[in-house]
């Protein structure tokens, strides 16, 4: 066997091994991204799916947010309109987390039907408001209108 053939075989073995390791690691670390309705369907089809780590995208049900004293734990309901799940999260709560905000929670659905989130992401509002009118605050005590700078 000449050197060129050995080089090609060795390269194919290295590339094959690297490809196998990449594919197997993706399968092991991949998480499903579901809606609450899709999660309910998967759990109904396979009850073992209940303790599987998943990401769920939904909307916070208005009026269901309950913050624990200390501010590091929150409980709320999430829905996609078809199915609603209670969620419990312990950790830093995003500033944009409010009623009716779209959220992505990552965690596991417990046997009691409560989703225990380890990650909570709240979608930022995509509204932008116009800058306030320059004269809007002129009657406010202490207001000073910006003076144009003088060029020297």
CB-based contacts of 83, cutoff 8 Å, min separation 6: 35, 36, 37, 39, 40
Over residues 23-37, the mean pLDDT reads 76
More confident call, 111 vs 148 = 111
Q: If you average pLDDT over every residue of the chain, what do you get? A: 82
pLDDT tens for each residue of 95-143 = 888 888 899 999 999 989 999 999 999 887 655 455 555 565 556 555 5
Q: Are strands 102-109 and 84-90 parallel, antiparallel or unpaired?
A: unpaired
CA distance 115 to 34: 13
- pLDDT grade, residue 51 (50/70/90)? confident
User: Do the beta carbons of residue 120 and residue 94 sit within 8 Å?
Assistant: yes
Place of tokens 């009716």: 100
Q: Pull the structure tokens for residue 25.
A: 């690691």
pLDDT at 107: 92
User: Do the beta carbons of residue 50 and residue 56 sit within 8 Å?
Assistant: no
pLDDT at 9: 93
Neighbours of 54 (CB within 10 A): 20
């Amino acid at each position: 066997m000449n050197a060129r053939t050995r080089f090609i075989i060795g390269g194919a073995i290295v590339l094959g091994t690297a490809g196998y390791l990449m594919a197997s690691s993706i399968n092991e670390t991949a998480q499903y991204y579901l809606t609450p309705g899709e999660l309910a369907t998967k759990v109904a089809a396979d009850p073992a799916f209940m303790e599987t780590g998943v990401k769920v995208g939904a909307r916070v049900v208005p009026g269901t947010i309950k913050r624990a004293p200390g501010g590091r734990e929150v409980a709320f309901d999430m829905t996609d309109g078809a199915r609603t799940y209670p969620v419990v999260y312990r950790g830093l709560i995003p500033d944009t987390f409010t009623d009716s905000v779209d959220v992505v929670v990552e965690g596991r659905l417990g046997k009691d039907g409560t989703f225990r989130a380890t990650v909570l992401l709240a979608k930022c509002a995509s509204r932008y408001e116009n800058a306030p009118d320059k004269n809007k605050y002129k009657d406010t005590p202490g207001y000073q209108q910006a003076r144009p700078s003088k060029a020297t």
